[in-house]
């Protein structure tokens, strides 16, 4: 009886481990992208600006100047 329990436990463990690796998880394509890559991935144009603050920090700012379908400058600044 003890032998049967060991064999069944082994089979269940092996089956569970096999099932866990059987299906590959889909990975979000944005997971390893930076902000510029994400903006381009979704089809938007982008602009990058570096701003130096009064206390010496350099900030990277990103702007989407217009939508996917409009080509040209935005009529109104926000």
65 within a domain of the structure (yes/no): yes
> What whole-number distance in Å separates Cα of residue 69 and Cα of residue 65?
12
The SS3 of residue 48 is: strand
pLDDT one-digit tens code per residue, 17-61: 555 556 677 888 899 999 999 999 999 999 999 999 999 999 999
Domain contains 8: no
pTM above 0.85, yes or no: no
- What is the predicted pLDDT for the residue at 25? 74
Does pLDDT of 14 surpass 80?
no
Q: Say if 78 falls within a structural domain.
A: no
| Domains contained in the chain, number | 1
Domain boundaries, position 49 = 29-69
Residue 21 CA to residue 32 CA, distance in Å, equals 23
Q: State phi, psi for 37 to the nearest 5 degrees.
A: -65, -40
Q: Among the listed ranges 3-7, 9-13, 15-19, 43-47, which one has the minimum average pLDDT value?
A: 15-19
Residue 3 lies in a domain: no
For residues 67 and 63, what is the distance between their CA atoms, to the nearest angstrom? 11
The answer to whether residue 55 is domain-embedded is yes
């Amino acid at each position: 009886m003890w032998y049967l329990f060991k064999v069944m436990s082994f089979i269940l463990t092996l089956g569970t481990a096999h099932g866990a690796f059987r299906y590959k998880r889909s990975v979000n394509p944005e997971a390893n992208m930076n902000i510029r890559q994400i903006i381009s991935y979704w089809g938007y144009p982008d602009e990058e600006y570096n701003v130096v603050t009064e206390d010496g920090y350099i900030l990277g700012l990103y702007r989407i100047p217009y939508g996917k379908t409009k080509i040209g400058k935005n009529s109104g600044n926000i």
